[in-house]
Amino acid sequence: MLKRKLLTYALISGLSFSMGSSFVHADVTKLRLAVETTPGDPLNIMLASFRDTLQSSAEEEVELEFFEGGALGSESDLIQLLRAEQVQVLPIGSDIVELDSNFAIFDMPFMFADKQTARDALDGELGELLADSLREKSGLEVLAFGELGFRIISNSRRPINTPEDLSGLKLRTPGSATRILAFEMLGAAPTPMSLGEVYIALRQGVLDGQENPLSVLEEFSLYEVQDYVSLTNHVYTPITLTMSANSYAELSPDMQEHVISAAQEGAYQTRQLSDTSDAELVEAFTSAGVAVNQPDLASFQTASVPIREAIAERLDAVFWEQAQNILEPR
């Protein structure tokens, strides 16, 4: 832990030295973009699409630096760099809850019936509500919401058909306290771990399984060390493409339009990927010898009622009331 903190400090110090006090120089806007994952992963695809679209539309008005594959650290490290304004644009998955507890709404099981319902909510009033909350709590601007998608459970011990099948399983989860709470209430033994460490932990038996969208199983080759994939679709995870609100405010109105348009294109690309890849990946995993099953979702939905209630207690009361009115209009 100390080593990671020292590394992050060194990165911030070094980047501060190289960036100076502002990233807007004369008529050129210089932006540093960073992502933890490698090409092919939805987070990476969203940021790469943002980069390419912005470069094409703004041309010589913008200079972009692009760091991928954890070149500047883990997602937690990158969040620190973003808040220090040493990275200007960052796509964030589940770890967004570390910046704003109201994003724990995405840790509530079965909040969204399908992808389109979640997309419509994020492109509408719920997205505006979350963007306002993140700006107020963390000083970050939401540029667009992309898609990691619905999460499933994989493991090396048994198919997951009902919540009882989770009993005692050591499952990797993100560091979100509410995601950990949810799996504890379902009887599993959730184990937060950096995504880059999961493959070795699964192979060595330190973990029994993990939960992620199907695309992550493919990108990180996790299916190679898992015998069972259970299509629980228990929570929907967006990609929140973020920028420091101060940095965003420094942009000219014209550049802001370029940035938002590029972010929306990145979001579109991740949603397209999600739609095309899920069915293909189920077939690919089955062909690779992984047993893919459809659980009894009704039993999971029943078990999730007290979980949603427990998570709701951790949200701002006003936010939760507004979110409920949006998602369940009376």
Which H, E and C letters describe the chain, residue by residue? CHHHHHHHHHHHHHHHHHHCCCCEECCEEEEEEECCCCCCCHHHHHHHHHHHHHHHHHHHHEEEEEECCCCCCCHHHHHHHHHCCCCCEEEECHHHHHCCHHHHHHHCCCCCCCHHHHHHHHCCHHHHHHHHHHHHHHCEEEEEEEEEEECEEEECCCCCCCHHHHCCCEEEECCCHHHHHHHHHCCCEEEECCHHHHHHHHHCCCCCEEEECHHHHHHCCHHHHCCEEECCCCCEEEEEEEEEHHHHHHCCHHHHHHHHHHHHHHHHHHHHHHHHHHHHHHHHHHHCCCEEECCCHHHHHHHHHHHHHHHHCCCCHHHHHHHHHHHCCC
59 shares its domain with 140: yes
Residue 68 resides in a domain: yes
pLDDT at position 191 over 70: yes
Do the domain assignments include residue 330?
no
Q: Is the pLDDT of residue 3 over 90?
A: no
- How far apart are the C-alpha atoms of 21 and 218, rounded to whole Å? 40
Give the residue-averaged pLDDT of 282-294.
Answer: 96
Q: Verify that 183 and 316 share a domain, yes or no.
A: yes
| CA 151 – CA 94 distance, rounded (Å) | 11
Q: Are 235 and 149 in contact (CB under 8 A)?
A: no
Using pLDDT thresholds of 50, 70 and 90, give the confidence band for residue 20.
Answer: very low
Overall pTM > 0.75: yes
- Quick one: average pLDDT of 248-276? 96
Q: Among 12-21, 103-112, 186-195, 297-306, which stretch is predicted with the lowest mean pLDDT? A: 12-21
Q: pLDDT by residue (tens digit) across 209-241?
A: 999 999 999 989 999 999 999 999 999 999 999
Same-domain status, 139 and 243: yes
Structure confidence at residue 279 as a pLDDT band (50, 70, 90): confident
Statement to judge: residues 62 and 188 lie in one domain: no
pLDDT surpassing 50 at residue 330:
no
Residues 171 and 210 in one domain: yes
pLDDT mean over 162-184:
96
pLDDT digits over 84-128, tens only? 999 999 999 999 999 999 999 999 999 999 999 999 999 999 999
- Residue 28's pLDDT is 93
In a domain, 204, yes or no: yes
Q: Is residue 328 part of a domain?
A: no
302-316 pLDDT, tens digit each: 999 999 999 999 999
The CATH number given to whatever domain includes residue 201 is 3.40.190.170
User: Looking at per-residue confidence, does 10 or 160 come out higher?
Assistant: 160
In this structure, the answer to whether residues 156 and 298 fall within a common structural domain is: yes
- Same-domain pairing of 215 and 186: yes
User: Side chain identity at 78, as an amino acid letter?
Assistant: L
Are 27 and 49 found together in one domain? yes
- 88 and 6 in a common domain: yes
Longest dimension (CA), the chain: 62
**pLDDT tier for residue 4 given thresholds of 50, 70 and 90:** very low
* N residues, the chain: 330
> Cα 212–82–89 angle (5° rounding)?
75
In a domain, 93, yes or no: yes
Residue 29 pLDDT grade (very low, low, confident, very high; cuts 50, 70, 90):
very high
Domain count, the chain: 2
Q: What number is the average pLDDT over the span 14-24? A: 48
Gap between the Cα atoms of 159 and 86, Å rounded: 44
Radius of gyration of the chain, Cα coordinates, nearest whole angstrom: 20
Query: Is the residue at 56 inside a domain?
Result: yes
Residues 158 and 304 in one domain: yes
In a domain, 329, yes or no: no
Does any domain span residue 69? yes
Condensed to tens digits (0 to 9), the pLDDT of residues 35-70 reads 999 998 999 999 999 999 999 999 999 999 999 998
Angle subtended at Cα 52 by Cα 51 and Cα 57, rounded to the nearest 5 degrees: 100
What pLDDT does 195 receive? Answer: 86
User: What does the pLDDT look like over 158-168, one tens digit per residue?
Assistant: 999 999 999 99
Tokens matching residue 31: 């932006």
Judgement on whether residues 124 and 161 belong to the same structural domain of the protein:
no
* In a shared domain, residues 7 and 42: yes
Domain extent, residue 226, equals 152-235+280-323
Other residues' Cβ atoms within 10 Å of the Cβ of residue 201: 18
pLDDT at residue 18 is higher than 50: no
Residue 248 near residue 124 (C-beta atoms within 8 A): no
| pLDDT score of 2 | 35
